[in-house]
Structure 1
């Protein structure tokens, strides 16, 4: 076996995976493996040819003390793939990856609970229509709620991807070499129909509030700040946390907090509000409410670029009663 330092193997692994996964996934791999390699260094393991299954198990136990089970599962899955790669480059004993134990969270641990309801979304949209009409934040929230698209897909949209004609729609395209990849790459490309009402808001935004600037690729982002820059995913995140705080769209705090003492009242601290949610909660809400309204699962899955398995497990938060109601129209008495 080769005497390979952990961080050297990590860098080779990340380079090998860079053509297979998205930038965000690669960044997650890097974070996990940096933690793992630093831990090995602290333990005096300077070369991977001395790595044992017991070392990996001790890392798992140490890591498990500070993170949730679902996070530990993600971390150990990453490390298992890394160890398999290390076998390939003759840095660790053959078969070592088979000794990596990946935890199996229960269903409740795996399914995120954050979701925006239809009633909440309706109230937020009513507020935006009245007080922030055709603003950048209005368009952000409207598109995420009405289409169920990912935050990264919203970030990738250009003005030219919007068609406000007789059949208004948005074109989602994978452009990795220009900084806007889609999560599922070319498989995630699709045209997404929107209502004429939604299209009208976008048109008014482009007419009155959009800077119209171009980036270095000659592209004009749809979601653009007043400074003329494509809004980063983190900016989208902060705006959604801001507008979903109940105090923002109702003027009242359901938690009974004093506004003058609340730490979540500013744009940069809105995520600290226990009642606010991020963009992914809108995606879950869209999927659940669409299914409750009778939209077929395969139509919903195609629209949001999601497998049926993932939809069922992670995104459909309907109650048992709601699921019974969905089946009602299809039942036949025999």
Structure 2
């Protein structure tokens, strides 16, 4: 230990994140920042002021603490296996960096107790059935036509784009006047709108005339005419400029609450007393879902409709293996029906 340079855990994390900015996408650095915050908090609670002091036993205790939702910002009693595994993999990478700068023993990172995941554990169970989406769109079309919420939900559903893809759109990325309207996704990391797979995520996606009309009416109507910090004209705007990721995420949580589209509450709650009816607390509803779940539903719908995997892969910028493993949420029975539909011709 005497050969190690003393370093507070929070300072070590700052150095790690700064180093990752040279070789990782912005969202990777951000995700690692959030994954390492609990470790810094745990060190503080454990009275560890010098990263040199952390040993293998500490790492196991941290794993248990993290698994059981010990982090102050955790909203769960127990962390999902896949989430815990991701957190510990990031911690392992961080400790390898810490060893390189002589803040921990060279082999400490090998002692991070990474859980073995089953195939079931590797895949998130969170999903939204595709048939839940049309009623939401019908409601928006009737009561909140061409609103910002309508545009966010519509683009997410019709393109299957990731949250970051929708946020990245500028007015110049829309071709609404031609006979083949389309949306283009561009990787622009230097102006704060990177795409998940960098340039490989760039694509030209056709949209139908109905979607194009809603976008046109939004641009000519409710959209706030505002530029972002880089002089760009975003499609989805707020009073501050380009909508942040949280704004888009909260929009989807809001509209996937069953009570919001006249379905009532499937959880037996009194709607007048339910805290999840408040916009900022929509995640408290057990049925609210994220933009990522929208993407899963879009893949499932395409595949149920017989769209070939390679076409879905190209449109959504995801490999066929990833589509099958993480996005296609059809049941085994439904998948068997698809196979039969393809065979019985």
Q: Structure 2 length as normaliser, TM-score?
A: 0.88
- C-alpha deviation, 1:31, in angstroms: 3.0
- C-alpha deviation, 1:50, in angstroms: 4.3
Equivalent position to 1:146, from 151, 158, 167: 158
* 1:170 corresponds to: 183
- C-alpha deviation, 1:279, in angstroms: 1.5
Equivalent position to 2:119, from 107, 115, 138: 107
- Asked whether the 8 Å contact 1:212–1:228 carries over to 2, the reply is no
* 1:324 corresponds to: 336
- C-alpha deviation, 1:284, in angstroms: 0.8
Change (3 A) 1:31 1:135: closer
Equivalent position to 1:213, from 201, 226, 230: 226
Does 2:197 align with 1:184? yes
* 2:39 corresponds to: 36
- Asked whether the 8 Å contact 1:3–1:48 carries over to 2, the reply is no
Indicate the SS of the match to 1:321: helix
- Asked whether the 8 Å contact 1:172–1:190 carries over to 2, the reply is yes
Does 2:149 align with 1:137? yes
Q: What does residue range 52-71 of structure 1 map to in structure 2 within 5 Å?
A: 52-66=55-69, 67-68=78-79, 69-71=81-83
* 2:20 corresponds to: 17
Worse overlay, 77-86 or 16-25: 16-25
- C-alpha deviation, 1:163, in angstroms: 0.8
Take 2:53 and 2:235, find their aligned partners in 1: how far apart are those partners?
52
Indicate the SS of the match to 1:170: strand
Does 2:104 align with 1:92? yes
Does 2:301 align with 1:289? yes
- Asked whether the 8 Å contact 1:211–1:228 carries over to 2, the reply is no
> C-alpha deviations, 1:261-320, integer Å up to 9, x for none?
222223222222222222122111001111111112222122222233322222111111
- Asked whether the 8 Å contact 2:130–2:297 carries over to 1, the reply is yes
C-alpha root-mean-square deviation of aligned residues, in Å?
A: 2.3
Indicate the SS of the match to 2:183: strand
* 1:229 corresponds to: 241
Change (3 A) 1:213 1:292: same
Take 1:208 and 1:235, find their aligned partners in 2: how far apart are those partners?
20
Take 2:43 and 2:259, find their aligned partners in 1: how far apart are those partners?
47
Indicate the SS of the match to 1:94: coil
Gaps of 5+ in 1: none
Change (3 A) 1:148 1:54: same
- C-alpha deviation, 1:207, in angstroms: 1.7
- C-alpha deviation, 1:243, in angstroms: 1.8
Take 1:104 and 1:28, find their aligned partners in 2: how far apart are those partners?
21
Change (3 A) 1:245 1:44: closer
The number of residue pairs the alignment matches comes to 332
Q: Structure 1 length as normaliser, TM-score?
A: 0.90
Gaps of 5+ in 2: 70-77
- Asked whether the 8 Å contact 2:82–2:123 carries over to 1, the reply is no
Indicate the SS of the match to 1:260: helix
Worse overlay, 168-177 or 31-40: 31-40
> C-alpha deviations, 1:48-88, integer Å up to 9, x for none?
44443222222222322224222221111011111211222
Take 2:201 and 2:326, find their aligned partners in 1: how far apart are those partners?
19
> C-alpha deviations, 1:124-176, integer Å up to 9, x for none?
11111111111111111111111111111111111111111222111111222
> C-alpha deviations, 1:201-243, integer Å up to 9, x for none?
1111112222222223221110123x36222221112222222
